Amino acid sequence: MNDNISTNKFEHLFLNYKIWFETEDHKGILGDGKWKLLKMIEQTGSLKEAIEQSGLSYRKTWNNLRKIEKLLGFPILDTSRGGPEGGSTYLTEEGKRIIRLFDEFHTEVDSLMLNAFEKFQEKLK
């Protein structure tokens, strides 16, 4: 047998998935992208900087964040305008709680998905 030929044609198969929560009428509330953005806002203290680092549109992102707050029924961002050092954006306590809970949920789901994927790979062999 040639050593350069793989005996498992599925060895280059990798797991990838996204998680998001939506309303009963399928309006997205929070998913991996916004979760990462909110974590970046928390780290930088700046919506503008977080948007720039993510390569997103400011206006669209701002509108999406306001929609999330409306669908959740509470503010997740606390903003202050301008001044000598510019404005700042922070997560509210509820915003921080949402991020922490999404972190915990993601950790649990990631573990389940990885275990299921490993079983799937074994069955493919």
Q: For 4-9, which contacts have Cβ atoms below 8 Å and span 24 or more sequence positions?
A: 8/124, 8/125
Pull the structure tokens for residue 56.
């997103």
- The pTM of the full predicted model, rounded to 2 decimals, is 0.80
Rounded Cα–Cα distance for residues 15 and 120 (Å): 10
* Domain boundary assignment for the chain: 27-124
Percent of the chain with pLDDT over 90: 69
pLDDT, tens digit (0-9, with 9 covering 90-100), for 12-61: 888 999 999 999 999 889 999 999 999 999 999 889 899 999 999 999 99
CB 105 within 8 A of CB 32: no
The arrangement of secondary structure in 27-124, i.e. its CATH architecture, is: Orthogonal Bundle (1.10)
